[in-house]
Structure 1
Amino acid sequence: MKTLYKIGGSAALTQATIYIFGFILLIGSLNPEASSLSINERLAFLSSNQALYQLWIFVIYVLFGVVLVFLSFALNGILKAKKPILSGIAVIFGYIWSVLVIASGMITNIGLEAALAQQPKNIQQASQLWLTIETLQNGLGGGVEVVGGIWVLLVTLAGLKAHQLPKVMHWLGLLVGLAGILTVIPGLGDLGVVFGLLQIVWFAWLGIVLLKTKD
């Protein structure tokens, strides 16, 4: 059990760090990509910042998804003794979220290379391809956080009912989960930013608590 707390705590702190890295890079060097540029302008910007953008995508999607597997596994091991049903459902959603974000990152990076390779030949076809890639990426996890929200909500409910980990942290988890789930509603996609920012606090808090918990 002690090993599960170490795995879970380390994974949670890593997730918080990944989120911070992602937000800093997005606000700084990659900010123009998030502004109201046309599809052609976005592709031109990414052509000039390809290496940095692909690193960003790899960290916040692929690496995040890999670490999420370890966190989901650890939390399931910690909570399943008292709440096996909720914990079991939660870990399934955790694995699903992991697959979605990893797939989203890989499709985006490979798709960008394909679009940039097409750019010198036919800019319109390259832009259309990148628009398709952006749509796939947003659908898989870049724009809708419902699966992640459900996972956080289920983990939080399992923790509350099992009386494990701080109750205040679980109330924060309820807010995080709700913010993620609401992004599925048209017009509420901006709640994804709230979901991400609150998750930084939740992940960091969870990681510290798990690492300090004794078997």
Structure 2
Amino acid sequence: MTMQRIGGIAALVCAATYIFGFVLLVTVFAESGFGTNRIDAAGVVQFTVENQALMITWNTVIYVLNSLALAVLVVALASRLKTKSPDWSTITLAFGLIWTTLVLGAGMIGNVTTEQMAVLAPNNFETAVQTWEALHAVELGLGGGNEIAGGVWILCVSIAGLIYQSFGKIIVGLGLLTGLGGFLTILPPLGEVAGAVFGLGAIAWFIAVGLALLFKRDAVAMQASA
């Protein structure tokens, strides 16, 4: 199996982790207030203590598994661009690996936070809430609360794909929209809307990229489909 096809599978895994995350947010986590801008810290800590296994699964899938698959996809796309432009290939590789590292870090912080809540909450609930707020802020700063690094990477890949016709129009269009949405999460008034655009757009983009890498043998074939 070629690196391009492995990258295609990785892209679909990334999409699946996003879908998993969204499904849990609108179902299981809906009543806890987790994932909203007005989080009830005490309620989240209580929910975390009562559902420790679920929270660890959540963090592992949306962060850890996502970052591992993302690393493979970043390398595969950089490799694809290298034949067209070594410079753009290097740029996308750098931004992609930065994002991958931040996502992995957020997942590790998230899992440690969950473990700490299980230890602290039974004896000192107030301390547990304060600890959760501090660690959650770190998690959000790394990757859970903004999508700047991911937005810049997807923008770079899409711009390179547009310039060198390495990807079809659908992939480029979705990538530009998704990347812009991620970058705009830097602005607090647009954070929630831009984050939703990025999240939903990323699912579509990952699926489109995954299918293209799996079923298009070379860049020429991809250009012909544009």
Give the TM-score normalised by the residue count of structure 2. 0.91
Report matched runs for 1:7-156 at 5 Å: 7-31=6-30, 32=32, 33-34=34-35, 36-156=38-158
SS of the aligned residue for 1:20 comes to helix
- Percent identity at matched positions? 43
The structure-2 alpha-carbon separation of the partners of 1:29 and 1:161, relative to structure 1 and needing over 3 Å to count, comes to: same
SS of the aligned residue for 2:217 comes to coil
Cα distance, 1:10 vs structure 2:
0.8
Give the whole-Å Cα distance in 2 for the aligned partners of 1:111 and 1:37.
16
- The equivalent of 2:197 in structure 1 is 194
Cα distance, 1:115 vs structure 2:
2.5
Cα distance, 1:34 vs structure 2:
3.2
SS of the aligned residue for 2:196 comes to helix
- Structure 1: gaps spanning 5 or more residues: none
Give the whole-Å Cα distance in 1 for the aligned partners of 2:77 and 2:35.
34
Q: Which has the higher contact order (CA 8 A, sep 6+)?
A: 1
User: Which portions of structure 1, spanning 4 or more consecutive aligned residues, are displaced by more than 4 angstroms?
Assistant: none
1:210 to 210, 213, 216: 213
Give the whole-Å Cα distance in 1 for the aligned partners of 2:17 and 2:124.
36
AA partner of residue 214 (structure 2): L
Give the whole-Å Cα distance in 1 for the aligned partners of 2:164 and 2:138.
38
Cα distance, 1:106 vs structure 2:
0.6
Give the whole-Å Cα distance in 2 for the aligned partners of 1:144 and 1:119.
28
Q: Higher mean Cα deviation, 177-186 or 107-116?
A: 107-116
Give the whole-Å Cα distance in 2 for the aligned partners of 1:214 and 1:118.
53
AA partner of residue 199 (structure 1): A
SS of the aligned residue for 1:214 comes to coil
Q: Higher mean Cα deviation, 57-66 or 41-50?
A: 41-50
Give the whole-Å Cα distance in 2 for the aligned partners of 1:74 and 1:29.
34
Superposition CA RMSD, Å: 1.3
- The equivalent of 1:5 in structure 2 is 4
Q: How many residues are matched?
A: 214
Q: Is the 8 A contact 1:5 1:213 kept in 2?
A: no
- Structure 2: gaps spanning 5 or more residues: 219-226
2:168 to 166, 169, 174: 166
Cα distance, 1:37 vs structure 2:
4.8
Q: Is the 8 A contact 2:74 2:97 kept in 1?
A: yes
Q: Is the 8 A contact 2:48 2:117 kept in 1?
A: no
* Residues 8-59 of structure 1, C-alpha deviations (whole Å, 9 max, x = no match): 2111111111111111111111222235452112111111111111101100
* Residues 141-196 of structure 1, C-alpha deviations (whole Å, 9 max, x = no match): 00110000000000111111111121232011100000000001122221212201
Give the whole-Å Cα distance in 2 for the aligned partners of 1:172 and 1:206.
10
Give the whole-Å Cα distance in 2 for the aligned partners of 1:115 and 1:50.
9
